[in-house]
Amino acid sequence: MQICALLLLISCLAIPAEGADPRDVAVLVTQVPRAVSQDGAGSGPFALPGLQGRILLVQPDGSQRCLTEGFHSAADPAVSFDAQRCLFAGKRAAADPWNVYEYDFATGQTRQITRDGGNCRQPSYQSNLFTVDSPEPWFQLTFVSDRAGWISEDGKGPSWSLFSCRLDGSDVRQLTYNLSHDLDPFLMGDGRLLYACQQRRTQADGPLGRMQLFAVNIEGTDQALFAELSGGQFKRMPCVTDRGLVLFVETDQLAADGAGQLGSVTFRRPLKSYRPVTSESQGYAYRCPSPWSQGSVLVARRALDGSGTTGIFLFDPRTGATEAVLDAADADEVQAVAVRPVRQPDGRSTVVDDAKPHGQLYCLNVNVHDMPDSAWLPPGTVRRIRVLEGVPLSAAEWAAPPDGPASGAGAEPSAADGLPALAQRRFLGETEIQADGSLQLTVPANTPIELQTLDEHGLALRTCGWIWAKNVEARGCIGCHEDGELTPENRYVDALSRKSVALTLPPERRRTVDFRRDVMPIVEAKCVSCHGPDGAPPRLDGGLAPASAAGPWNRAYVNLLATHAPKSGGPAERLYVHPGRARTSPLVWHLIGKNTSRPWDGDYPQRPAKPIADGDWPGLTNLEWRILVEWVDLGALWDGIPGPDPLSSRPAAGAEVR
């Protein structure tokens, strides 16, 4: 069994071909002027390096040759499996977008691959891809691009997504549909792409959210968390060494050049094996590790105190031994890859059919979870599944949203205002859970989707990150954030024996919810009598917000989203509404008459609720209760994108919610 496991591990690593001597290997290096740290085409904290850069071929004897003469900028070298060619991203002129080019080492010729598709960066070769009826397999390359035209969730600039195309530039396909950034793809030996994924689903992690390591198949299917969440808040630039160590750059505070410390997990157990490799106490920051030989990597390194330049070093993550490769006194070397053959990773067959508009989502049992205590989420707690579409905004929509000022996200407040600035959500629908906890859905393909499990009150219990299903893909999970190292029980679940629930309404019929249109009428009708000018706080009558809160939103909205500093110090907390989490919101406790938080919500279960006195009960209908809860769980936004009025499809009303 141990021998079989070792053979499987070896087959999954892109190790050097036999006979390669690391002492005789040339290196491709990206060198940039000392004064240029990052590229304005990728503005914001996740900008990519390479402006005014050039790619050098550095021979073992130290001699150098520039491969990108005539280019204004060049970066991101990647070597073919047979080491006969290399890809890179380049700009012929300063005003040009970045495009992917291929250089032939034998002929010295350069050809352009991508064109007319935004900025294209970080290219790498894919292994072969085929369908059951294709006459022969074909090869593709991966690259990241802003060609989708989306603005990232943090509002700092265009979002980067993973794309693929054939080696002649045809058949461009978007692979990832995250609303923020997907960067730094690395092709692993098992044929999957390892990459860094930034998501900002809630405000709990700050304005930039988190960036973690994910994996996806080369045609965009089966995206999943790859490495455990331990370590830095932002993980980037992963690679896998020939000894099965997954090395990456991690940090809690983003530097302008993206540098940080090195962390690692093992390829065999990436969800259970995190360990830091370097620390700031050693005085250096690192970026762009790349496999070398015998477990070592090439890596860019600079001093934390700002002295000297960034250079390329050979680094052994096991011993910490470091050897300089290239460190010019008047320039920064920020990337390096070895020019040598590697074993071609596994190819892949695909069922993706771009002509088909839908995909499938299924779950075997929502009662399976990764909670520390199984009693925290016993069977029967989850009653329904809410399925939401994340709505990407274009640069034009962000700059000038309809019927509102240029403040982003449909006149949504910015993080600087202290108010929510989350991405817009639109309802795809809700569905019941089968008796055994299973479900099966048909959803629009290539659409950012968020799943929320709901309790008996309609409050979201747990929420997944942005996922998607490719065209025809059947995308499944075992449970609700299950342990990724466990296999499911071998049984045929109820949902798979039934017709899939179709959540495929066209965009113009997908419902939204916001404060201005949906919640404020409820507040005016049911709350102002007690929370008006002379009533108890918070004051919820209409009118302009205080002068300190610039924007189109009114007093009621600002007061519901008010914050206070805890007596014990620490970060400010919201008094009444927690955007994205209705179950811990005191407003919800007040209306329902009890604390609805859960054991995994920190100290919230110990906090007292303040029920409404019987004589003051406003008498919310089921529809009004649903709107209030949905508004909070979807981010407590001020102004939503146009969509059907929730009141126009009123369910059987009647009973008040208490």
> How confident is the model over 3-15, as pLDDT tens digits?
344 333 434 444 4
Of 96-110, 356-370, 382-396, 632-646, where does mean pLDDT reach its minimum?
Answer: 632-646
Position 658 in a domain: no
Does one domain contain both 400 and 344? no
| Average pLDDT score, the chain | 85
Preceding omega of 538 cis (within 30 degrees of 0): yes
Domain limits at 393? 358-649
- Residue 409: pLDDT band with limits 50, 70, 90: very low
Do residues 575 and 587 lie in contact, with contact meaning Cβ atoms separated by under 8 Å? no
Does one domain contain both 371 and 292? no
At residue 612, the pLDDT reads 84
Average pLDDT over residues 366-374: 88
Does one domain contain both 548 and 568? yes
- Quickly list H helices, 302-439: 395-399
**Residue 655 pLDDT exceeds 80:** no
Average pLDDT over residues 616-628: 86
Residue whose structure tokens are 């923020």: 180
Token pair for 451: 């799943």
The SS3 assignment for 79 reads strand
Domain holding 269: CATH number? 2.120.10.30
Beta carbons within 8 Å of 423's beta carbon, 6+ residues apart: 153, 179, 200, 390, 391, 392, 393, 409, 635
How many CB atoms lie under 10 A from the CB of residue 493?
A: 19
C-alpha to C-alpha distance for 608 and 589, rounded to whole angstroms:
9
Does one domain contain both 320 and 232? yes
From 348, 383, 404, give the residue that closes a domain: 348
C-alpha to C-alpha distance for 300 and 325, rounded to whole angstroms:
10
Residue 149 CA, distance from chain mean position: 16
At residue 22, the pLDDT reads 53
Average pLDDT over residues 469-485: 89
Position 657 in a domain: no
Q: Which amino acid is at 278?
A: T
Do residues 160 and 183 lie in contact, with contact meaning Cβ atoms separated by under 8 Å? yes
Buried b (16+ CB within 10 A) or exposed e, 464-490: ebbbbbbbbbebebbbbbbebeeeeee
Does one domain contain both 289 and 321? yes
Q: Which residues are 544's β-sheet partners?
A: 554
Does one domain contain both 391 and 487? yes
- Residue 402: pLDDT band with limits 50, 70, 90: very low
**Residue 634 pLDDT exceeds 70:** yes
- Residue 37: pLDDT band with limits 50, 70, 90: low
Position 247 in a domain: yes
At residue 103, the pLDDT reads 98
Position 447 in a domain: yes
Does one domain contain both 546 and 451? yes
- Residue 71: pLDDT band with limits 50, 70, 90: very high
From 326, 348, 370, give the residue that closes a domain: 348
At residue 73, the pLDDT reads 96
Does one domain contain both 512 and 368? yes
Average pLDDT over residues 340-346: 91
Do residues 655 and 622 lie in contact, with contact meaning Cβ atoms separated by under 8 Å? yes
Does one domain contain both 7 and 99? yes
- How many structural domains compose the chain? 2
Residue 28 CA, distance from chain mean position: 29
C-alpha to C-alpha distance for 256 and 239, rounded to whole angstroms:
21
**Residue 592 pLDDT exceeds 80:** yes
Please report the DSSP string for 403-440 in residue order.
TS-SSSTTTPPPGGGTS--PPEEEEEEEEEPPTTS-EE
Does one domain contain both 227 and 126? yes
Does one domain contain both 644 and 569? yes
Question: CA nearest 202: which of 186, 180, 185, 220?
Answer: 180
Determine the length of the chain.
Answer: 658
Of 15-24, 176-185, 512-521, 600-609, where does mean pLDDT reach its minimum?
Answer: 15-24
Q: Which residues are 110's β-sheet partners?
A: 103
Position 570 in a domain: yes
Of 177-191, 428-442, 632-646, where does mean pLDDT reach its minimum?
Answer: 632-646
Q: Could you tell me what percent of the chain has a pLDDT over 70?
A: 85
Position 228 in a domain: yes
> How confident is the model over 507-516, as pLDDT tens digits?
989 999 999 8
Position 328 in a domain: yes
At residue 395, the pLDDT reads 67
Position 353 in a domain: no
Does one domain contain both 556 and 633? yes
From 295, 325, 348, give the residue that closes a domain: 348
